[in-house]
Amino acid sequence: MTTPTDAAALTERIRDYALSLGFDLVRFTTADPMLDAEAALKERIGQGLMGGLDWFTAERAEVSANPRALLPSARSVIALGTFYLTDAPRDETAPGDPHGRLSCYAWGDDYHEVIRARLDDLAAFIRTCAPPGHEKSIVFVDTGRMVDRAVAQRAGLGWYGKNTNILTRGWGSWLFLSEVVTSLDLAHDEPLAATCGQCEVCLHACPTNAFVAPYVLDNRRCISYLTIELRGSIPLELRPLIGAHIFGCDICQQVCPVNLVVEKRLRQRGQLGKPGERLMFQPRPVTGSSPALIPLLKLDDEGFRERFRHSPVKRAKRRGLLRNVCVALGNIGDPVAVPALSDALRDTEPLVRGHAAWALGRIGGTTACVALEKALAVETDATVQQEIRCALEMCG
């Protein structure tokens, strides 16, 4: 039987070790079901706000919100936060040199790989601290069946922001969340009393109006969903609103007053972009923080795999990324992209051809119109044919 004193001592040993591994926040909570989170998820599913994520069913919500459904012997959950923001400059678009925007978390190495290695190390350490046969654990980082934000909120790691992200006092919302579910009895932290108050800056900053209400996101309109999770065509009415984003979006985080204060404080302390610090989240040389768009259109499957190996960007797959690149080029509107987009009309992927047509229609001009007319004469895919016809109407 573990005494409260023993549990507190073990909890602090685990906390210290987790911090030594590179986790920036470490909190502890119970393994009780998170009934409010389950109810909220089911409500969102019923309203269709999680459209496109067909795998997230009501049954999954029940499991994700109950640690004991994942580990029957669970007694505690360790909530962990890893700060990823760096102060790297972006290569901004200039005439004749259009660049796209990557979400900050995708600049460096794939966080799933980085954090999973740390979690496995932490789980191994916990096993050495527990009596033989008394410890079982499983780890989660983003893709696992665990409601990360609900765990983080209950553990006091942070509070729910109105943009549905978890906000923390020391690191803002620039955190990767992860968990260890364990059968150990540990000392549990209390939730924070902090809230966003009356602030709604993030809600009004979203260019696609993805927020139905405070704390309620319509997944189908979120730029992160549209550029990463969505496998098909981006809805026509949303394409102009995506701007130059080609993988994810940070707008609702960038405008958040909590994040602005955090960034200013960390920059003053030299903790943001400090040389040699958090190298795994600094922009990778082959990826960058704001890549040139036209060269991306020339990537074949092998080139895509090589460039984005060990990068989060690989989640979009080649056809998804090039689809996004086409939309970004159409929104930037620089005629310098017309030759590359014309070549993309012959891509092996109908998804890329269709969005290349849309981009040419947005840019317009005689050269773009001629390329579209030639493509329409040989195109066999009905969906792409319709995209080309709509693009020709835009061309005038």
Catalytic residues: 142
Tell the burial category of 299 from Cβ atoms under 10 Å away from its Cβ (0-12, 13-18, 19+).
middle
β-bridge partners, 78:
28, 180
Residue with tokens 């319509």: 218
d(CA 370, CA 392): 9
With CA atoms as reference, report the closest residue to 100 among 335, 313, 329, 342. Answer: 329
Map residue 229 onto helix, strand or coil: helix
Tell the burial category of 327 from Cβ atoms under 10 Å away from its Cβ (0-12, 13-18, 19+).
buried
Alpha-helical regions (H) of the chain: 4-20, 35-47, 58-64, 67-70, 111-129, 148-154, 201-205, 223-224, 251-254, 257-268, 293-296, 301-307, 317-332, 338-344, 350-363, 366-378, 382-395
β-bridge partners, 157:
none
